[in-house]
A and B are shown apart, each in its own frame.
Chain A
Amino acid sequence: MFLLNGVPLPLDTPFKDAAGSSYPANWLRLTTLEEKQAIGITEVPDPEPEPTPELPSPPGGGE
C-alpha cells in the first residue's frame, strides 16, 4: 500500500500532497514508483492476511 505523510492512501481516489497539489483518482496507477516517491509517497507491503476468528459468545456480555 502507499503512504502519504504516514497515512494510507486509498487507490482510485483523488488526493492532495503536502504542498496542496491535487492528483486525480487514477494517478497512482499511471505513475512509476519514482514519480510517487518524488511527492513524498512511500510504499509498504500490505499486511499479510490473517484468518478472522469467529466468536462463540458475545465478548461484551451483560454488565
Chain B
Amino acid sequence: MIDALPLLLGPEGYQISRSVRLRSSASAYFNRTPASASNRKTWTWSGWAKLGNLGDCALFQAYSDANNRTQIGFGGNQINFSNLLAGSINARINTNAVYRDPSAWYHIVAVYDSTDATSSNRMKLYVNGVQQTSLLVATYPAQNTNLFANNNIAHYVGRDVAGSTFDGYLTEINFIDGQALTPSSFGQNDPITGVWQPKKYTGTYGTNGFYLNFSDNSAATAAAIGKDYSGNGNNWTPNNITLSPTTSTSYDSMLDVPTPWADGGNGRGNYATLNPLSRWAGGGSVVLSDGNLKAAFTNQYANHGTIAVSSGKYYWEAVVTSAGINSTGGGIMTVEQAGSNTSPYLGWVLDVQAGRNYYNNSYTSLAGGSFASGDRLGVAVNMDNGKIWYAKNGTWLGTSADPAAGTGAAQTNVNKEVVPVFYEGNTGFSATWEANFGQRPFSYTPPTGFKALNTQNLPDSTIKKGGAYHNEILWTGNGATTRNLTGTGFQPDLLWIKRRDTANSHQIVDSGRGASLALASDLTNAEFASQVGSFDSDGFSLASAGAAVNASGGTYVGWQWKKGATQGFDIVTYTGTGANRTVAHNLGVAPRMIILKSRTSGTAQWVVYHGSLSNTQALYLNADSSAATSALFWNSTSPTSSVFSLGTSSDVNVTAQNYVAYLFAGVAGFSKFGSYTGNGSADGPFVFCGFRPRWVMIKRTDVADNWYLLDTARAPSNQGTNYLGANQSVAEQTGFLYDALSNGFKLRYAGAGANASGGTYIFAAFAENPFKYSLAR
C-alpha cells in the first residue's frame, strides 16, 4: 500500500509516515548511479537514522573504487564525513562525540561547499540541528575541490562497499544538489518541547537531488520503496530488502519514525527494539541484528527492550527458533532488575521449554506453553491492573485466559515499571528471538485495548520540557561585585553553585531561607552569608566577586530548580523539637528523596533519605560514607503524601535548631530517584530513566565513596567524563565515563564510585525531555 504523504498538521507538526529497515545481516542497501555528474563542490545530505548494530558503517557513499570515494558514516561510534582521493584523505571531518544511542532517532546533516573562502565552512556536520564543532579530525579540502559525491559513479545509501552495511532504520533522506543548506531546511525546534523535529523540505533539489521517504511499501523496487519524491525521478534500487509477506520477520517497511503521531492503528513513533546497552550477562553472549529486533543468545544471556511502561496496555510478539529449546523465554522485568544484571527468572517470564510461568524465581505451569522452534510468543501486559498474559501462536495460555476481558492472567502482581525481556537461561544452549513490538504487522490481532509499544502509545507527560523546572547554566567569573546571570528560563527556588576550575566549597541558597543565606554541601557548617544577590525571573544575581561565585577567570556551574507539586519539588523549613515528629510538605505524593541540613549547627551532617534505601537508613551528603542505619533519622517511618517523619537524631531534630529540607518526588518523564547494581565492567549498567537526563547524582551505598554530580551542560555530548563531588570542594575532575541517552544513562567504566561489581548505588536524575519526545544522543 502507499501511505498518505506526510502533511503539515499545525501544532502536531510534520509527520514522517514510514522508515525502511536495513538489515546488515542481509547486506541490505540502496544504490543509484547518476546519469551525469552534477555539482561536486556544493551539496547537502540530510537524513534520519535509528541505529541497530553500533558498528562502523556508511549512511551514504559515492564509490569509484576503494581508493576513491566519498562517505558519510559511523566509525568508532563517531560520525565521519570524508573523501578519499587516490588512497589519501583530502577532506575529512570526524566528530569527537560518540553516537551509540540505539533507542531513538538521530537527524544527521552533512554539508559540503568547497567554494567557501573559509576552509572550516567547506565541510560541516550537524546532529539533531546542532553543528558539531568539536572535531577529532578536521582536514578541510582545498578551495573548489570536487568530491566523488554527485559524480556519475555508483552511489549507495546504507552501504560502505569496502566495509559494512548500515544496520538500523532510515527515513526522510534529502540530497540537495548545488546548495549548501543548514538543518533549518529540514527540521525545527518544537515550540513546546524544544526538541528538534523533522520539517518538510520545500526548496529545490537540483539535477541529481532526491528525496527518499520509503513510504511506498508496495514493492521492493526502485519505483516503489526506492521512489524519489523530489520530482526528479532519481529513484534508488533496493537490494536485499523484503516487503513480502508482511508477517515475515524479514519485512522491512516500518512504522518506526522519529516523532509520535496517531495514525488510527498501531500508532507511529519511536518503537521499542531490543536494547544492546541493557542486558543480563549470565556468562553467555548475544548477537543482535536486524535493527535490534533479532537476538541470537548463547548460554545465559538476556536483552531488555528500549521502552519501559508503568501504565497502559501493551502487546508484542516474538518468534523463537532453536535447534533444541531449553530454558529460553520472554516476558518483562522491572527497570531496577534490568539495570542490575539480574536473571530474567526474577521477573515475569514464560520459559517456553515447558510453559513455566515464572515470577521471582518460582513458577507454575501453563498448559500448552511448551514451544517448538518457529512458534510465536505473544505477550499482553495490562499495567493498569497489574496483569500479564502469554500466548502461543495466537492462543492465550491458561484457564479463561483473555486479556481483553481481563481474565485468566498468568500473573496478577505487575505493579512496577517494567521492560520487555528475552533470554536464553541455560549454559550449553542457544535460542534466537525475533521480536515485533508493532513496527511491522503483527501476526495475530492484539487483544482489544492493547497497543503496540511505541512512543505514541506512552502516556503523555505532564512536563514536556524539563528545562521549565530544572536547568543549569555555566559562566566564567568576571570579578564584578554584582552580576546578573540569565538564561535559566524560570525563577529558581533552589540554586546550587560550584566552582569548577579550582577547589572551592559549594554554595547552596534557596527561596525558603532567602538568597542571602548559604549552606555548603561539602561542609557541616551552619548557615552563612551567601554571595548570591537575588532570585530573578530568568535566573539569579551574584552579589560578590568571591571565589565561590565570580572570581575573575573562574569557571562555574549553577544548578537550579523551581519548586511546585507538579514538578515534585518542595522546600520546607522547620524548628527541631527533640522528639519524634512529622513535618508537613506540599508535594501531594510521597517524596522519594529528602536532603536536609541544620541551619544552626556547625557540626550536624547533611542527611539524605532515598526511597531505594530503607526508612532506617540515611546517607550524608557532606561525606563519602556508606548508608548509615538508625531509627533516629526517620523514626523508622517512610514519608507519606503529606508529611515526612523525623526521629531524634542530632542531625535532624535537635530542640530549637532550625532546619531546611529539600524534598523531591519522582515525576514520570521529568525526574527519577532509583537504584542499580554495578557490574564491574566498562560495559556498565544501563539505567532506564524514561527521559533524556540533564542532571544525574550518583552515590554508592554499600561502601564509602563520593557523591558524583554529572550534567549535560558540562558534557554536551557523549561520552561524558567530568564530574564534581557534592561532598568535595575539589575542582572538577575527569574519568567518570558515561553516556547520557534518550531514555536513561549508561555507565562506561568500572570505577568503584559508579560501577563496582555487586556495588549498590542510588541515583537522582532530572530530564531534558521525556523519552516520548526525545531524540537519540
The chain A residues found within 8 Å of chain B, CB to CB, are 1-2, 7-8, 10-14, 25-26, 28-33, 36, 43, 45-46, 48-49, 51-55, 57-63
Contact = CB atoms under 8 A, between A and B. Distances in A.
Given A10-B383, A29-B566, A43-B640, A63 B667 contact: no
Interface in B350-369: 351, 353-354, 356, 358, 361, 363
Contact of A62 (B415, B426, B640): B426
Given A13-B668, A29-B587, A55-B346, 7 more contacts: A10-B384, A11-B667, A12-B669, A25-B459, A30-B566, A46-B590, A58-B425
A59 B354 CA distance: 13
B426 A61 contact: yes
Most chain A CB inside 10 Å of its own CB: which residue of B311, B353, B667, B760: B311
The main secondary structure of chain A at its interface with chain B is loop
B702 to A, nearest CB: 10
Contacts of A45: 638, 640
Contacts of A48: 614-615, 638
Given A29-B566, A62-B326, A7 B588 contact: no
A29 B641 CA distance: 9
A10 to B, nearest CB: 4
B677 interface: yes
Contacts of B566: 26, 29-30
B510 interface: no
21 contacts: A7-B384, A7-B385, A7-B386, A25-B460, A28-B588, A29-B565, A29-B587, A30-B588, A32-B642, A43-B590, A46-B590, A48-B614, A49-B611, A49-B612, A52-B336, A52-B337, A55-B343, A55-B346, A60-B351, A62-B353, A63-B353
A8 B415 contact: yes
A62 B426 CA distance: 7
Contact of B310 (A10, A52, A54): A10
A54 B614 contact: no
B300 A59 contact: no
B342 A54 contact: yes
Given A10-B311, A45-B640, A60 B342 contact: no
B345 to A, nearest CB: 5
Contacts of B677: 52, 54
Contacts of B613: 49
User: Shortest 5 CB-CB distances between A and B: which pairs?
Assistant: A12-B668, A58-B425, A55-B343, A29-B588, A60-B327
Contacts of B642: 32-33
Contact of B341 (A25, A43, A54, A57): A54
B582 interface: no
